[in-house]
Chain A
Amino acid sequence: DQQVKQNSPSLSVQEGRISILNCDYTNSMFDYFLWYKKYPAEGPTFLISISSIKDKNEDGRFTVFLNKSAKHLSLHIVPSQPGDSAVYFCAANYGTSYGKLTFGQGTILTVHP
């Protein structure tokens, strides 16, 4: 049972444009969401997170939006840069205390110069 889904395996955008990566979840108990970026043969690095009490969180070029009623979150990258090319994973958790993260399958983002 895939509780966190990233339905787009890949996304290709032009440098300078917006990248929008999407993530859906089914478990209404999730209340904390994270995005990770991963390069091949490396560990994921944390990008940005959002608590369910918010609907938007922004950090520089990265913004995460949360739509609780639709159980949907998205990561916007503006402007996209070639160095952003990587696999992006969304993950969900119960609360902000440590615990198990449930990951989506990942979306491969390619930013063309």
Chain B
Amino acid sequence: DGGITQSPKYLFRKEGQNVTLSCEQNLNHDAMYWYRQDPGQGLRLIYYSQIVNDFQKGDIAEGYSVSREKKESFPLTVTSAQKNPTAFYLCASSLNAEQFFGPGTRLTVL
């Protein structure tokens, strides 16, 4: 089955800890994206990558880091510098303008 997987679906962490969210795609897409969704708000872009070993900051990159060592994988690290990390995180990939989304990871920082 072709698609995007994100793991885990739910994640709990203590304040001050870094946490890494996984995103894998087998669609052979060059571009991958990370978004954050908060209640009552749209999706806000954190980071995106158009090609392996290259990525750019989105609109709300502060407190986050990414890597793109493989075409299939685009992990997101939420660092302790992120002031409000509790949110629903969505990963996406695309070949053109239409982006395909994973199921999301709900991160709760206690």
Contacts and interface: CB of A to CB of B under 8 A. Distances in A.
Nearest to A101: B99
B95 A98 contact: yes
B42 A105 contact: yes
Interface in B18-50: 29-31, 33, 35, 40-45, 48, 50
B74 interface: no
Given A98-B94, A99-B97, A100-B58, 5 more contacts: A34-B98, A41-B88, A43-B102, A44-B90, A49-B97
Given A44-B43, A100-B58, A93 B90 contact: no
A76 to B, nearest CB: 20
Interface of A: 4, 6, 9, 32, 34, 36, 41-46, 49, 89, 93, 95-101, 103-106
Contacts of A32: 97
Contacts of B104: 41-43
B48 A105 contact: no
Contact of B43 (A93, A98, A103): A103
A100 B101 contact: no
A41 B106 contact: yes
B75 interface: no
Given A43-B101, A46-B100, A96-B96, A89 B43 contact: yes
Contacts of A100: 33, 45, 48, 58
Interface residues of B, number: 32
Contacts of A36: 101
Contact of B101 (A45, A49, A93): A45
A32 B99 CA distance: 13
Contacts of B45: 100-101
B103 interface: yes
Q: Which 8 A-B residue pairings sit nearest by Cβ, starting from the closest?
A: A43-B101, A103-B42, A98-B31, A103-B43, A105-B42, A98-B94, A93-B97, A96-B97
Residue of B9, B30, B90 with most partner-chain A CB within 10 A: B90
